Amino acid sequence: MDIEKHLILLKGEDQTEKISRCVYEDGKYKVTFLPGKIYTYNHANVQWFKNPVSLDSATTVVYKDEQPVSGVDKILDFEEYKRLCFVTGYKKVYHRNEITIESSCLNNPDAHNCFEYLKKLAAVIGDKDEEDRSFLSKEYSKLSYISPSSVMALYLSPTTIDSPQYRQMPIFPFGFNLSQKSAAEKALNERISVIEGPPGTGKTQTILNIIANAVLNDKTEAVVSNNNSATANVLEKLQKYDVEFYSAPHCQDTSLIKIS
């Protein structure tokens, strides 16, 4: 039986690869197993699905328990059930309620066209490497999947951005002035927020207050910068207040700190 076209569950277990033939006669299924034994099953014990939709694993991510499933080579969608084929040759069937399948926002023509435009811009501007290739262009070329719930997807898709309201009164344990308070509240209430200002205007202090609110609400944050000094400054302030145990500097890249 071709697993690319069929899924046969016997008493809830995937037996497709062990079956050479399946026939429905007189209210029962006659199932021929390799190398040739035939067994008869009641209708209620057999589920037979055919002609799945094949999803592109390069532009589709499968989540199990909110974690991405890695090493997926093929995704066969039989509607109620999904078969994942891994690069190792291993295969597993999931009920649709067990996993979440998310397609890249680049499958949207508008988002795709916008991203292609950004890639063309990146090819002619920005820092170049030793091969005279734009660093940003090189990074863009690696992207085949962009989560529709990501910040980048919001930039690429010309749709109205709904701003979820922060339901809890924000806290400011690191102090604030009026502009810092306003910046932190907007960061907590908007899907995308940009805070800018010259040195000494309290951007790090604002970041610390945003972190405090994220931790209070059981959220995980990543503090990222294009240089190490900016993230080191945040870590320094956390250490100053004896709360650095919330943070985990990335071991291979000190310009990234994970906070949870």
How far, CA to CA in Å, does 128 sit from each of 135, 243, 246? 6, 39, 36
Domain locations along the chain: 6-50, 56-103, 109-156, 178-259
Give 39's pLDDT tier (boundaries 50, 70, 90).
Answer: very high
Domain 6-50 fold is: SH3 type barrels. (2.30.30)
Q: Secondary structure of the chain: what % helix, strand, coil (to 5)?
A: 30, 30, 40
Lowest mean pLDDT segment, chosen from 65-74, 78-87, 208-217, 243-252: 243-252
Q: State the chain's maximal CA–CA distance in angstroms.
A: 82
| 134-154 tens-digit pLDDT | 778 888 888 889 998 888 888
Shortest CA distance to 74 belongs to which of 64, 82, 66?
Answer: 82
Percent of the chain surpassing pLDDT 70: 89
Q: How far apart are CA 220 and CA 167, in angstroms?
A: 18
Lowest mean pLDDT segment, chosen from 30-34, 86-90, 163-167, 213-217: 163-167
Is the bond preceding 35 in cis, omega lying within 30 degrees of 0? yes
Cα-to-chain-centroid distance, residue 174: 32
| 201-248 tens-digit pLDDT | 888 899 999 989 988 888 888 888 877 788 888 888 888 888 877 777
Amino acid letter for position 68: P
Is residue 117 within a helix (H) or strand (E), and if so which, with residue range?
A: helix 109-124
Q: How far apart are CA 156 and CA 46, in angstroms?
A: 45
* 159 vs 260: which has the higher pLDDT: 159
Whether the predicted pLDDT of 48 surpasses 90: yes
Residue 132 is predicted with a pLDDT of 67
How far, CA to CA in Å, does 145 sit from each of 72, 89, 105, 141? 14, 23, 7, 11
